[in-house]
Amino acid sequence: MSIHTARAVVAAMVRGTAARTRFAPIALSLLAFASTVHALPQLGSQAPIVIAHRGASGYMPEHTLAAYELAVKMGADYIEPDLQLTRDGHLVAMHDTSLARTTDVEAKLGPRNGNYNVSSYTLAEIKTLTVDIVPVSPNPGFVPVSQDAYRVPTFQEVIDVARGLSASSGREIGIYPEAKQADPVMEDKILQTLAANNLSGANKIYIQSFSADTIRSIQQKQTALGLDFDLFVLSTAPGALTLAQMADIATFADGVGGSISGTRGVSESFIQQAHGLGLLVHGYTFSKLGDAGIAEYDKFFNWGIDGVFSNNPDLAFAARDAFLVSELPEPGSSALAVLGLVAAGAVARRRRSQQRDAAGTSVAGLQGNAGCA
């Protein structure tokens, strides 16, 4: 089988929720195998990650439990809650400072102090709102299982749903919170919430901010608390960062999150420079669909980007796996033959499970591992 054929097979396997669930064992085997048999251009030759930008925001209202659920069902490795503080000091998932763009706050509550800012309302008030922004490409066939799936969730609720999705999908779902305000109180509350949930550097947690000072402060605070979360400094124009600035970031952060747009966006040379300093690079925001979207992912994966913030996690998942298969050894090699045996074994296991199911044997465990409900 040629590499191009292998890419097509994997893309077909991960296209659509039903297909992805059916072939999840094979896809996971391909992903793990590809990252070990070939030196990928990513830092440490690790497979790039798929980060659901505000959840599956291309299909569901952004920053809702419904959007996070669908993102994981589509294969996302991480869900991303942007965080704001309510008037009474609760962390909620909301990108904008204002509630006006994404909720029905104008009709239900009206302005406070002449604005609709999150910080002007209590959590109880915000919980009466519905997130009603219409996504670009809706997914009406998906039914979330979370209660209040279209309300503004707290950070704690995001952590809870991530844990539930980890259990139902059979894989740890990472959380990638962003401190939207350069605020010491927000820094403290993020770290306190993570610590209260017994999360540590051993878990899949990234913390990000556009404020380098905020990330530097979080690094100092988490060290004092005995925590060690991976930290990212965000930049709208990463290409404008000097080598000295990058070297400074490397003293307190683990990576740089950069815009992929514009002449000063993430480039191949920027990725190489960051890798030379030991910094990971995650790019935002991948939102193109169809062939144009696949081509964009492929370009950045080949450049060595370590993670992609995507509005469409299913497309990112398929493009990532196709890229990994393209990096496999040439046909006929012993390594590729072993991969074929791994895939064949997964198919055989799936067939035996189906036979047991037909005979009345429960396959609840297999369903739990294949995808979330």
Query: Each residue of 215-241: pLDDT tens digit?
Result: 999 999 999 999 999 999 999 999 999
pLDDT number for residue 366: 25
Give residue-wise pLDDT tens across range 135-166.
Answer: 989 898 899 999 999 999 999 999 999 999 99
Looking at domain 3-83+154-341, its CATH superfamily turns out to be Phosphatidylinositol (PI) phosphodiesterase (3.20.20.190)
Higher pLDDT, 149 or 337: 149
- DSSP 3-state of 235: strand
Q: SS3 for 63-98, per residue?
A: CCHHHHHHHHHCCCCEECCEEEECCCCCEEECCCCE
* Mean pLDDT value of segment 51-74: 98
> What ranges do the domains of the chain cover?
3-83+154-341
Report d(CA 315, CA 299) in Å as an integer.
Answer: 14
pLDDT in tens, 15-41: 444 445 444 555 555 555 555 556 899
CA pair distance 109, 13, nearest whole angstrom: 47
Query: Residue 327: pLDDT band by 50, 70, 90 thresholds?
Result: confident
Q: Is the pTM of this model over 0.85?
A: no
Amino acid identity at 196:
A
pLDDT score recorded for residue 94: 98
Tell me the C-alpha distance between 318 and 84, whole Å: 32
